[in-house]
Amino acid sequence: MTRSATQLRKEFADTNWRLKFIDLCSLMELLRDCIIPDDYVVPDEFNGTIKLSAAGHNVLDRLTRKDKVNPKDARLMCALTLGHSELFVDIDALEIEKLSAVIHSEL
């Protein structure tokens, strides 16, 4: 389902939500540009900061069951993708400061 800018503005009217979403997008863009070694292990702290939406849990479930992806890696994949027609990350439950601190410690 494609939504117009006007529809999105109405659906996501809360300025604080929008700012948190922008911060998340910036952090995920930073991570997407990183070179990650094959032996990298996603820290528990990262997984603890990323709360998935219902759509995100569906993707996580499919990745872990069908594609046999490690759950930590699958959660990171959901965060990096952010979503498609629905968001994979629950922006309301996201603690952006904690996520930023975890990413900072990993870099």
26 vs 4: CA distance, rounded Å: 22
Torsion of CA 49, 24, 55, 63, to 10 degrees: -70
In this predicted structure, the answer to whether residue 1 has a pLDDT above a threshold of 70 is no
Q: What is the pLDDT of residues 83-100, one digit of tens each?
A: 878 899 999 999 999 999
65 vs 16: CA distance, rounded Å: 35
Alpha-carbon distances, residue 31 vs 4, 13, 26 (angstroms)? 28, 27, 9
Q: Read off the pTM.
A: 0.83
Q: At 58, list the tokens.
A: 């569906």
Q: Which of 63, 107, 56 is nearest to 79 (CA)?
A: 56
Q: What is the pLDDT of residues 42-78, one digit of tens each?
A: 889 988 999 999 999 999 999 999 999 999 999 999 9
Domain ranges of the chain: 5-106
